Amino acid sequence: MILRAAGLLVRLRAQRLYNLLSVGRRRKAAGVRSGTARRVGWMLPAVVVVVNLLGAVMLSWTSIQHARVRLDGFTRHHAVVTSLPLGEAVETEVMLLVALACGVALLMSLGTRELANPDWDMEWLATLPLPLSQLLGVRLCERVLLNPVGLITLWPLLSVSAFYQGARWLSPVAGLLVTLPLLMLVGTLHLLADTGLRLRLTPPRLRNLQAVCGLAGLVGLYLMLSAGQSQSSLVHDWAAALPAWFRWLPPGLAVRALTPQDLPVVLLSLLALYGMAALFALSGLLLLRWLLRDGLLTAGARESSRSAPRPAARGRRGPRRLVTALQARELKLLARDHAFLVQTLVLPVVILGAQFFFNMRVVSDLSDPRHLGAVAFAVMAYAMLFSTFQTLAAEGHALWLLFTFPRPLDSLLREKARLWSVVSLVFPAAVFAVGLSFADKPGWHTAAAAALVVAAVPIFATIGTCLGVLGWDPLALDQRRRVRPGWAWLYMLLASMFTYALYARSWWTSAVLVTLTAALALSLWQRVRDRLPYLLDAGASPPARVSLSDGMLAALLFFVLQAALVAILLEALGSEAELGRVMLLAYALAGALTFGILRTAFALRRTGEVPRYSGGEGRPLVTGLLLGAAGALVSAGWVTGMRRFGFFQAELDASVTALHFAPVSMALLAVLAAPVFEEFLFRGLVFGGLRRSQGFVSAALTSSAIFAVVHPPPSLVPVFLLGMLAAVARERTGTLLAPVLVHAGFNAASVAAQLLA
Amino acid sequence: MTDEVIAIEGLTKSYGGFTAVRELSLSITRGEVFGFLGPNGAGKTTTIRMLMGILVPSGGRARIEGLDCQRDGAEVKRRVGYLPDAPAFYDYLRGREILQFVAEMHGLPRPAAAERTAELLERLGLSDAAEEFASNYSTGMKKKLGLACALVHDPPVLILDEPTNGLDPRAQRDVHDRLRAASAAGKTIFLSTHLLDMAERLCTRVGIIHQGALVSVGPVGELRATLAAGGSLEDVFLRMTEGDGAPAA
| 3-state secondary structure labels for all residues of A578-640 | HHHHHHHHHHHHHHHHHHHHHHHHHHHHCCECCCCCCCCCCCHHHHHHHHHHHHHHHHHHHHH
- Least Cα distance to A407 among A532, A318, A521, A530 occurs for A532
Contacts of B105 in chain A (CB under 8 A): 325-326, 405, 407
**Least CB-CB distance to B104: which of A302, A325, A403?**
A325
Greatest Cα-to-Cα distance within chain B, rounded to the nearest angstrom: 57
B58–A31 C-beta distance less than 8 A: no
Kindly report whether the global pTM for this prediction surpasses the value 0.90. Answer: no
**Least CB-CB distance to B55: which of A332, A333, A537?**
A537
Of all residues in chain A, what percent carry a pLDDT higher than 90?
A: 15
Tens digits of residue pLDDT in A31-52: 333 334 444 566 777 888 888 8
Calculate helix-pair angle for A88-110, A171-200, nearest 10 degrees.
Answer: 40
Under 8 Å CB-to-CB from B81, ≥6 apart: which residues? Answer: A404, B149, B150, B151, B152, B153, B155, B157, B158, B159
Contacts of B52 in chain A (CB under 8 A): 403-404
Distances (CA, A) of A603 to A162, A546, A608: 51, 11, 9
Contacts of A398 in chain B (CB under 8 A): 88-90
The pLDDT, as a whole number, for residue A337 is 78
Contacts of A395 in chain B (CB under 8 A): 90
Distances (CA, A) of A468 to A326, A472, B83, B193, B247: 18, 6, 27, 35, 39
Under 8 Å CB-to-CB from A497, ≥6 apart: which residues? Answer: A513, A517, A556, A557, A560
Contacts of B137 in chain A (CB under 8 A): 302
Distances (CA, A) of B103 to A316, B97, B119, B231: 16, 10, 12, 45
* Contact criterion met (CB below 8 Å) for A719 and A750: no
Half-sphere exposure of A222 (CA within 13 A, CB side): 18
Query: Nearest-CA distance from B85 to chain A in Å?
Result: 11
**Least CB-CB distance to A314: which of B16, B93, B118?**
B118
B84–A305 C-beta distance less than 8 A: no
B17–A30 C-beta distance less than 8 A: yes
The pLDDT, as a whole number, for residue B160 is 93
A329–B93 C-beta distance less than 8 A: yes
Rounded to the nearest 5 degrees, what angle is found at the Cα of A91, between the Cα atoms of A86 and A96?
155
**Least CB-CB distance to B16: which of A31, A325, A398?**
A31
Contacts of A308 in chain B (CB under 8 A): 131
Complex ipTM > 0.90:
no
**Least CB-CB distance to A406: which of B56, B77, B110?**
B77
Q: Which residue type does A557 have? A: L
DSSP A345: I
Write out the H or E segment, with its range, that includes residue A21: helix A2-22
**Least CB-CB distance to A314: which of B53, B114, B133?**
B114
Contacts of B148 in chain A (CB under 8 A): none
Mean pLDDT of A98-122: 80
Cβ burial A351-389 (10 Å sphere, 16+ → b, else e): ebebeebbeeeeeeebeebbbbbbbbbbbbbbbbbbbbb
The pLDDT, as a whole number, for residue A477 is 55
Query: In chain A, which among 313-332 make CB contacts under 8 A with chain B?
Result: 313-315, 317, 320, 325-326, 328-329, 332
3-state secondary structure of A483: strand
Mean pLDDT of A324-331: 86
Q: How confident is the model at residue A83 (pLDDT cuts 50, 70, 90)?
A: low
Nearest Cα residue in chain B from A28? B16
Mean pLDDT of A290-296: 75
Query: Nearest-CA distance from A117 to chain B in Å?
Result: 12
Query: In chain A, which among 533-552 make CB contacts under 8 A with chain B?
Result: 533-540
A406–B106 C-beta distance less than 8 A: yes
Distance from the first to the final alpha carbon of chain A: 96
Does position B249 have pLDDT exceeding 70, yes or no? no
Nearest Cα residue in chain A from B127? A309
**Least CB-CB distance to B74: which of A202, A207, A408?**
A408
Tens digits of residue pLDDT in B83-130: 988 888 877 788 898 898 888 888 888 899 999 999 999 988 888 888
DSSP A662: S
Interface membership of A310 toward B (CB under 8 Å): yes
Does position B15 have pLDDT exceeding 80, yes or no? no
Please tell me which residue, A513 or B248, carries the higher pLDDT value.
A513
| 3-state secondary structure labels for all residues of A276-303 | HHHHHHHHHHHHHHHHHHHCCCCCCCHH
Contacts of B111 in chain A (CB under 8 A): 315, 317
Tens digits of residue pLDDT in A634-692: 988 988 888 888 777 777 777 787 777 778 877 888 888 889 888 988 998 888 888 87
DSSP A535: T
Mean pLDDT of A407-421: 89
| 3-state secondary structure labels for all residues of A66-125 | HHHHHHHCCCHHHHCCCCCCCCHHHHHHHHHHHHHHHHHHHHHHHCCHHHHCCCCHHHHH
Tens digits of residue pLDDT in A4-37: 777 777 777 777 777 666 654 444 433 333 334 4
A30–B130 C-beta distance less than 8 A: no
Q: Which of B91, B115, B121 to mutate to test the interface with A (most CBs of A within 10 A)?
A: B91
A300–B136 C-beta distance less than 8 A: yes
* Contact criterion met (CB below 8 Å) for B149 and A401: yes
Query: Nearest-CA distance from A326 to chain B in Å?
Result: 7
Range picked from A31-40, A148-157, A393-402, A567-576 for highest mean pLDDT: A148-157
Q: Which of A303, A400, A410 to mutate to test the interface with B (most CBs of B within 10 A)?
A: A400
- Least Cα distance to A454 among A368, A518, A390, A508 occurs for A518
Range picked from A129-133, A721-725, B140-144 for highest mean pLDDT: A721-725
- Least Cα distance to A639 among A710, A718, A722 occurs for A718
Distance CA A685, CA A72 (A): 63
Query: In chain A, which among 378-407 make CB contacts under 8 A with chain B?
Result: 395-398, 400-401, 403-407
CB neighbourhood size of A161 (10 A): 28
- Least Cα distance to A64 among A97, A111, A21 occurs for A97
Does position B63 have pLDDT exceeding 80, yes or no? yes
Distance from the first to the final alpha carbon of chain B: 34
Contacts of B150 in chain A (CB under 8 A): 404
Contacts of B128 in chain A (CB under 8 A): 309
B88–A302 C-beta distance less than 8 A: no
A302–B136 C-beta distance less than 8 A: yes
Does position A623 have pLDDT exceeding 80, yes or no? yes
DSSP string, chain B: -TTEEEEEEEEEEEETTEEEEEEEEEEEETT-EEEEE--TTSSHHHHHHHHTTSS--SEEEEEETTEETTTTHHHHHHHEEEE-SS----TT-BHHHHHHHHHHHTT--HHHHHHHHHHHHHHTT-GGGTTSBGGGS-HHHHHHHHHHHHHTT--SEEEEESTTTT--HHHHHHHHHHHHHHHHTT-EEEEEES-HHHHHHH-SEEEEEETTEEEEEE-HHHHHHHHSTT--HHHHHHHHT--TTS---
The pLDDT, as a whole number, for residue B245 is 43
Distance CA A301, CA A295 (A): 13
* Contact criterion met (CB below 8 Å) for B4 and B161: no
Contacts of A333 in chain B (CB under 8 A): 90-93
DSSP A440: S
Under 8 Å CB-to-CB from A464, ≥6 apart: which residues? Answer: A384, A385, A387, A388, A389, A417, A420, A491
Does position B48 have pLDDT exceeding 50, yes or no? yes
The pLDDT, as a whole number, for residue A323 is 80
B90–A396 C-beta distance less than 8 A: yes
Which residue pairs from A614-620 have beta carbons closer than 8 angstroms and sit at least 24 positions apart in sequence?
Answer: A614/A735, A614/A737, A615/A734, A615/A735, A616/A733, A616/A734, A616/A735, A616/A737, A616/A738, A617/A733, A617/A734, A618/A732, A618/A733, A619/A733, A620/A729, A620/A733, A620/A735, A620/A737, A620/A738, A620/A741
Query: Nearest-CA distance from A648 to chain B in Å?
Result: 53
Q: Which of B72, B132, B133, B162 to mutate to test the interface with A (most CBs of A within 10 A)?
A: B133
Distance CA A318, CA B225 (A): 61
Nearest Cα residue in chain B from A316? B111
B70–A406 C-beta distance less than 8 A: no
Distances (CA, A) of A457 to A27, A384, A429, A451: 35, 9, 12, 10
Interface membership of A16 toward B (CB under 8 Å): no
Mean pLDDT of A132-143: 83
* Contact criterion met (CB below 8 Å) for A548 and A690: yes
Nearest Cα residue in chain B from A327? B101
DSSP A23: E
Average pLDDT, whole number, for chain A? 80
Q: How confident is the model at residue A240 (pLDDT cuts 50, 70, 90)?
A: confident
Query: Nearest-CA distance from A426 to chain B in Å?
Result: 24
Contacts of A536 in chain B (CB under 8 A): 49, 54-55
Interface membership of A361 toward B (CB under 8 Å): no
